[in-house]
Amino acid sequence: MTQCLLPCRSQYAFRSKMYSVPEVNSMPDDRFVWVFGNVIELCEDAAVWVKKKRPFNRLADLCTEFHKYLDNLSVEEKLVILKSHPDLAGRLAVLGELTKESTEEQKSAGLDKINAEQKSIINACNERYKLKFGFPFIICARENKVQSIIDGLNSRILNSRDQEIETGINEVKKICKLRILDIVNEN
């Protein structure tokens, strides 16, 4: 069963070195898990699974294997993945307890600069969303700004739980791909 690393949210940091695909293929297993252990938020199990799929011919193949990992999970395991994500502009962000990746992603959407009214709206929508679906609202923050996030919260609340599990996992895939692109270059 998928287990996410819930206790320590700041254990991972953006890796400053960009790796090539051949370097990824030749990494020791423990290094691979460390480098890719947070491309799916706090879920080293994904990296453990994907490391066994090496060698990769291209960067796209690496991304595909992480996506396959998500696709192969049971609904219960997908819920573990979804529940490991922090609320957007939530308590952990205020306390500075997000992973480095999540912090940068939320900043890129402008969530670190929201006014009191926007914060109130986002927090209320987040709570309503979690109450209905049982997991936090997930959207690829790097592909959005504050207003589109608020719009997404307001429109997706109308979906069914099954639709939101699928949508949430698809957003996790987008986040995962962008995190991989922060780590690996095509050359």
Q: Which CATH architecture has domain 88-163?
A: Orthogonal Bundle (1.10)
pLDDT value, residue 186:
81
Task: Give the Cα separation of 35 and 12 in Å (integer).
Answer: 9
CA–CA separation, 98 and 84 (whole Å): 11
What average pLDDT does range 151-176 have in this prediction? 99
Q: How many CB atoms lie within 10 A of CB 85?
A: 21
pLDDT, tens only, 118-160? 999 999 999 999 999 999 999 999 999 999 999 999 999 999 9
Q: Supply the pLDDT for residue 8.
A: 37
- Distances in whole angstroms, Cα of residue 48 to Cα of each of 13, 71, 146, 163, 167: 18, 16, 34, 28, 24
The predicted model gives 8-20 an average pLDDT of 58
> How high is the pLDDT of residue 2?
55
Cα–Cα distances (Å) from 40 to 19, 95, 140, in that order, read 18, 22, 12
Domain coordinates in residue numbering, the chain = 88-163
- pTM equals 0.91
Point out the residues that are catalytic.
85
CA 130 – CA 102 distance, rounded (Å): 19
Strand partners, 19: 184
Q: What's the DSSP call for residue 166?
A: H
Which residues lie closer than 8 Å to 46 by C-beta, 6 or more apart?
2, 36, 37, 39, 40, 66, 69, 70
